[in-house]
Amino acid sequence: QQPQVLETFSAQSIANVALGFAKLKVSDEDLMACLAARMMEPSVLSSCTAQGISTTAWAFAFQGLKHEPLMDALASRALGSQSTPSLVQTFNAQAVANTVWAFATLGIRHHTLLHALVDRAKPLLASFSSQEIANTVWGLAKLRMACPGLLQAVGSWFQEPALAKALSLRDAVQLVWGFAKLDVQHPALLQSVGAAILEMDVTLTAKDVADLSWAYGKLRHAHPELMMFVAEQTLQRRTLASLTAVGISNLAWGCARVGFRSDELMEALADRVVRRRILKNTKAHNVADLLWAYGELKVLHSTLMLALAQRVIHSSMRPHLTGQNIADIAGAYAVLNFPHKTLMEHLAKQAV
């Protein structure tokens, strides 16, 4: 990290070094800080290409290094100024995908750049790989960047079974999650991706089952075969044991939204909640969603109902209960005909 060496680094050299350390998973924050400082020097930044921008952004994001001044400088270089032309039209599919993924991973919502990249992605769609599309959709969804036109085009692209089959499990889950997060309906895509997942020789993780169920539930797209597969995978010991309270809530909620009922699954989820005592830090809306799901599917688990009532009554939950939460909670106990006077009195006080 000698100054005289760094002073010889070009924009492309910086991108290459950052990429190398990221891919080899070698962490050196001092080096990365020096690389960022060098890249932000006007004489260096002005020579940075679209590839250099995307590579540098990706490398910092992959290492979890949120260097906002650098990311802002890279965005400015991409967009251009009165004295320098925009580079957005020189971004290829990989550069678009990597840049969107990087900003999303770091949680940096640069509206102008992202809108420009969305516009750039549309004519390039046919040159995107399945992974690049999934990463782009995931990134835009993570940053809540509405882009219905692009997503409708993506959905139409994936109607081709061969393209859906090229997805990895991770990419498939991210893709449908992205559509659901942005609330973009595309039944053909959901059907095609669901069918592709069923043909994969894979084991779903706890995150996979929760995200898939939540996504199909959010969009109210019934896919019985996929949901059955999700249920079967959830019941695997390792998957079930890895589910968090949030994951259980999302999984059950998704099942209820599409009317998929598996008593074995719901019993296992309830037992996981009760026996492992994982409710301690669960948020109000997750408890409400879980209760709503059991009520919607007409599945009564007395021990779970008692445990959830105690969680709702707990003092830490009181400031966070919304009107919708109260309605869902009260409705679930009523539908399941499970009286709990203390809970109802508590909800009444919260409502007024």
Claim to verify: residue 238 and residue 338 sit in the same structural domain: yes
User: Which one, of 57, 139, 55, lies nearest residue 100 by Cα?
Assistant: 139
Instruction: Examine residue 185 and state whether it is found in any structural domain, yes or no.
Output: no
Q: Are residues 350 and 242 in the same domain?
A: yes
Instruction: Give me the number of domains the chain comprises.
Output: 2
Residue 341 exposed, middle or buried by CB count within 10 Å (0-12, 13-18, 19+): exposed
Asked which of 127, 162, 190 is the last residue of a domain, the reply is: 127
* Within a domain: 36: yes
State whether 222 and 348 are in the same domain: yes
Residues 352, 224: one domain?
Answer: yes
Residue 71, pLDDT score:
98
**CA end-to-end span of the chain:** 63
What pLDDT score does 3 carry? 57
Q: Do the domain assignments include residue 141?
A: no
- Per-residue confidence (pLDDT) for residue 127, from 0 to 100: 94
Domain final residue pick, 74, 104, 127: 127
Going from the C-alpha of 117 to that of each of 11, 35, 121, 211, the distances in angstroms are: 21, 25, 6, 26
Domain enclosing residue 108, as ranges: 1-127
Residue 213 counted as domain residue: no
Q: Does 309 reside within a domain? A: yes
Torsion of CA 144, 146, 149, 155, to 10 degrees: 30
Distance between CA 258 and CA 155 in Å, rounded? 21
13 and 117 share a domain?
Answer: yes
Please report whether residue 133 resides in a domain.
no
The residue among 64, 97, 127 that closes a domain is 127
Same domain, 121 and 223: no
Q: Do 227 and 349 fall into the same domain? A: yes
pTM: 0.93
25 in a structural domain: yes
CB atoms within 10 A of CB 119: 14
Torsion angle in degrees (nearest 10) through CA of 31, 34, 36, 40: -160
In a domain, 281, yes or no: yes
pLDDT string in tens for the chain (352-residue length)? 455 788 889 999 999 999 999 999 999 999 999 999 999 999 999 999 999 999 999 999 999 999 999 999 999 999 998 888 999 999 999 999 999 999 999 999 999 999 999 999 999 999 999 999 999 999 999 999 999 999 999 999 888 778 888 999 999 999 999 999 999 999 999 999 999 999 999 999 999 999 999 999 999 999 999 999 999 999 999 999 999 999 999 999 999 999 999 999 999 999 999 987 788 878 999 999 999 999 999 999 999 999 999 999 998 888 899 999 999 999 999 999 999 999 999 999 998 8
